Amino acid sequence: MERLQKLMAHAGIASRRKAETIISDGRVTVNGKVATLGDKADPQKDDIRVDGKRLRLNEELRYVLLHKRRGIICTTDDPEGRTTVLDELGDNFSERLYPVGRLDIDSDGLVLLTNDGDLANRLTHPRYESEKTYKVLVEGAPNEKTLSRWRRGVRLDGEPTAPAVIKVLHSERRNTWLRIVMTEGKNRQIRRVAELLGHPVVRLTRTHIASIELGNLKPGQFRQLSKIEVNTLKKPKSSGVRRQQEQRKQDRY
C-alpha cells in the first residue's frame, strides 16, 4: 500500500505536490469512491483513476529534451487551441509526458518532458534548489548597482526573490546579453524583475536545467536524454547560487 500522491508521481501523472492538489480537488477515485488526501492504495488490486482514466504504473520512463520555440505553450493542453510542447513531439511517444516547470510563451529554449514524477519534483520543488540557466537580452546597459540588486533579490508580490548569479556577456547595439542562473521560478520572474529594474527583456532563452544543456538543438527539435544524463539529474548537487550566498557571508567577516 502506498499513498496516492506517490503512486501518481511514479505513474508520471504529476509531481507529488501537484498530485496532492489533484486529490484535494476530488479528481481521484479508488474503487469508485472519491479519494481524500492521505489515502493509500495497492495498484495491483485497487482500481485507481485520475479524471476517470485508470492509473497504470507499467509505462517505460521517458526523458525528452525539447528546444521550445517562441509562441509555443508550455503545458499539456490549451483551451484556446494553441500549439503546446506536446504537439511539438507529435506521435513519437506513446507515454503520457509532462513538461517539468514552465517557460512562458514569449521565451524559447530548453524544456524537459517526462513521465517520471519523482524527478519532476526534484527539479521543481524549491527545497532542492535545482538551477536553471538563461541567456537574456535586456534593453540598455545595467550598471553594477542594478546588477547587485538583482543578484541579491528584489520584492515581487510582497516577497523577496531568491539570490541569482548574473554575468554580463556582451553588448549588442543598445542592449546587453546576460547569463542568469536561478534556483526558483516565479511566474515570468526574469521579465518582471528586469522591467522593475528599468531594463525590459528583449529575448529570453533557457539554456540549462541543472546539468542538462540545450546544446545544438534547433528550435522545434527534440531528443531523448541518455542514461548518464538521467542519472546525473537524479544525483543531489550543491547549488552554485547557494555557494555564492555562502561566499558573500564569509566575505563580510
Please report the DSSP string for 147-161 in residue order. HHHHHH--EETTEEP
CA 161 → CA 76, 154, 208, 248, distances in Å? 28, 5, 20, 17
Cell numbers given for 184: 526558483
Write out the residue range of the structural domain in which residue 189 sits: 131-209
- In tens, the pLDDT along 207-219 reads 999 999 999 999 9
Q: Do 135 and 122 fall within a single domain? A: no
Answer yes or no: do 227 and 168 share one domain: no
Q: How many CA atoms lie within 13 A of 66 on its CB side?
A: 31
Provide the mean pLDDT of the chain. Answer: 89
**Same domain, residue pair 112 and 225:** yes
> How far apart, in whole angstroms, are the C-alpha atoms of residue 193 and residue 155?
9
Measured between its terminal Cα atoms, the distance across the chain in Å is 52
CA contacts within 13 A on the Cβ side of 205:
17
Greater pLDDT, 236 or 19? 19
**Are 150 and 35 part of one and the same domain?**
no
Is residue 44 a contact partner of residue 7, using CB atoms and an 8 Å limit? Answer: no
Please identify, among 193, 209, 225, the residue that sits at the C-terminal boundary of a domain. 209
Are 77 and 114 in a shared domain? yes
Cell digits for 157?
Answer: 508580490
- The pTM for the full model equals 0.76
Q: Does 190 reside within a domain?
A: yes
69 in the same domain as 112? yes
Whether residue 89 is found in the same domain as residue 102:
yes
**Per-residue pLDDT tens digits for 59-105:** 788 999 999 999 999 988 888 989 999 999 999 988 888 899 889 99
CA distance readout (Å), 108 to 33, 105, 124: 42, 8, 18
Residue 4 has pLDDT above 50, yes or no: yes
Residue 78 lies in a domain: yes
Q: How many domains in the chain?
A: 3
Same domain, 204 and 135: yes
At 118, is the pLDDT very low, low, confident or very high (cuts 50, 70, 90)? confident
Report d(CA 222, CA 145) in Å as an integer.
39
User: According to the model, what pLDDT value does residue 239 have?
Assistant: 55
Q: Percent of the chain at pLDDT above 90?
A: 66
Active site residue 157: no
Please name the helix (run of DSSP H) or strand (run of DSSP E) that holds residue 189, with its range, or none. helix 189-196
DSSP type of residue 73: B
Statement to judge: residues 7 and 73 lie in one domain: no
Residue 251 forms part of a structural domain: no
Q: Are residues 92 and 26 in the same domain?
A: no
- Predicted confidence at residue 22, as pLDDT, reads 94
What pLDDT band is residue 242 in, cutting at 50, 70 and 90?
low
State whether residue 139 is helix, strand or coil: strand
What one-character DSSP code corresponds to residue 28? E
Measured in whole angstroms, how far is the alpha carbon of residue 219 from the centre of its chain? 18
Compute the average pLDDT of residues 225-242: 79
In-domain check, residue 47: yes
Whether residues 161 and 175 fall in one domain: yes
101 and 223 fall within a common domain: yes
User: Which cell numbers hold the place of 57?
Assistant: 504504473
Cα separation, 112 vs 67, in Å, equals: 9
User: Beta partners for 4?
Assistant: none
Could you give the count of Cα atoms lying within 13 Å of 179 in the half-sphere of its Cβ? 9
pLDDT the model gives residue 237 = 65
| CATH code of 167's domain | 3.30.70.1560
Q: What is the pLDDT of residue 247?
A: 47
Q: Residue 13's pLDDT is what?
A: 83
pLDDT at residue 17, as a whole number: 86
Residue-level pLDDT at 240: 54
pLDDT in tens, 143-192: 999 999 999 999 998 999 999 999 999 998 899 999 999 998 888 999 99
What's the pLDDT score for residue 252?
43
* Candidate list 39, 46, 104, 118, residue with the active-site label: 104
Tens of pLDDT along 54-71? 887 767 889 999 999 999
Dihedral of the alpha carbons of 107, 235, 116, 206, in degrees to the nearest 10: 10
- pLDDT, one tens digit per residue, over 35-61 is 999 999 988 788 899 999 888 776 788
Query: What's the CATH code of the domain at 11?
Result: 3.10.290.10
pLDDT at site 209 = 95
